[in-house]
Amino acid sequence: MRRLYQKIYLTILASLLLVVLVAGGIWRWGGGPPGPQVFEMAGELASMALPPADAPRLEQQRAVEQLARRFRTDLALFSQDGRPIAGAGRPLPPPPPRGEGEWAYGPGGPAWSFRLPDDRWIVVRAPGRHRHPAIGLVLLLGGIALAVGLAAFPIVRGLTRRLERLQSGVDTLGAGDLSARVKVEGKDEVARLAESFNRAAVRIEELMGAHRMLLANASHELRTPLSRIRLGIELLQQTKDPKYHAALAGDVAELDLMIDEMLLTSRLGAVQKPQMEETIDLLALAAEECARYEDCALDGQAVTVRGERRLLARLIRNLLDNASHHGTPPVSVVVRQDGERAVLEVMDNGAGVPETERERVFSPFHRLGGDTRGMGLGLALVRQIARLHGGDAIVAPRPGHPGCFQVGLPVYAAPNA
């Protein structure tokens, strides 16, 4: 049962079916008012125990008293026209005028009247176990309500118990325990809500961990340019040498780049898709970025992708910066289509990335041994941007080009007009 409304709906149907079954069982085996055949049989039996209609009243009175004592009930004998002949016990109402046996109800309790074969009437007060129909109806409805309540309770309690556990998980997460998770039970909406909560909790925990790592590393990385700026200001104040002014400008630019990369890394970690998508010619975009660098050659074919132009330009620029600063010129860029993927390759003539480091170079703040340039966010941004656009970035050495980074993106197919 995969939908909660189906479970509730079927519970209602099952309850109604249970009502029908219980009511039918009570009607079938619980008894009810006697039918005409019962009245006729009672009249025949009573006539055998009573004297005939022409017997003296005293004899009829003794017979009625004897029957009343034997059955421990109130009993009265009436003539055909409803006049009393004999009686025992509390007063009883006369027989009904319709001339048929039936139940009569009054202050003294239900009374049962039936006709004898000689047209006399017997009225007997019902034994104490007989109750007014209203009481029987209340007991019937009460029994049905009890049965429905007992049958529906496990289903309702199972649902509310899962909701309570989900609420407890939300409260625990809200209190700061980012490891809070809830147990997923069933396949309905509540189960899918629990799965969504667990995914959200994992995502929040990852984001908070990434932000903590970003802040910890950023505080360390920013100290170096800030120290150089502080020292440059002091030297510039003392010597007025223009070279310190140029050095200060370079340190400020480096600091600005660091802050920009950190903010962009943090922002991309919190989004699931590009905010402003447009159709982009990847070859043309690569040509724009390659024009900023010397010893950079571009080759390939026009391939259309879909994404945010500013981020894809940043991806290409970071790859070119990495090749220029950490590789050996010349740098070559190739854009091609491989099936449904657009492939961008940036290659240099350097030694490339050791095999053991080919995944780690995409980690934030990771540097290869002995490298002190940059803060280790350039390639991490490349992979973030590629994955944000439905692709990925890897280290893919090629013959003659051990230093090769490859980015694969989905090709955009324009819808038919």
Decide: helix, strand or coil at residue 36: helix
Q: Where are the beta strands (DSSP E) in 120-238?
A: 121-125
Query: At which of 75, 106, 130 does a domain end?
Result: 130
pLDDT tens sequence for the chain (417 residues): 456 666 676 777 777 777 777 666 666 565 555 555 666 677 777 777 788 888 888 888 888 888 888 888 888 888 888 888 888 888 888 887 765 556 666 666 678 888 888 888 888 886 655 455 556 666 767 777 777 777 777 777 777 788 888 888 888 888 888 888 888 887 777 788 888 888 888 878 877 776 676 665 666 566 667 777 777 777 777 777 777 677 777 777 767 776 777 677 666 765 667 767 899 999 999 999 999 888 899 999 999 999 989 889 989 998 998 888 888 888 999 999 999 999 999 998 888 888 888 888 888 777 675 555 555 778 888 998 999 899 999 999 888 788 899 999 999 887 654
Are 342 and 384 in the same domain? Answer: yes
Is residue 290 within 8 A of residue 323, CB to CB? The reply is no
In Å, what is the CA distance from 219 to each residue of 224, 226, 361, 384, 388? 10, 11, 20, 22, 27
Are 339 and 240 in the same domain? Answer: no
Are 247 and 368 in the same domain? Answer: no
Residue 21 lies in a domain: no
Residue 98 lies in a domain: yes
Residue type, 300: G
Q: Could you tell me which of 85, 139, 73, 84 has the C-alpha nearest to residue 112?
A: 73
Backbone angles phi, psi at 344, to 5 degrees: -115, 125
Are 285 and 261 in the same domain? Answer: no
| Domain ranges, residue 309 | 278-410
Separation between Cα atoms, residue 411 and residue 391, nearest integer Å? 10
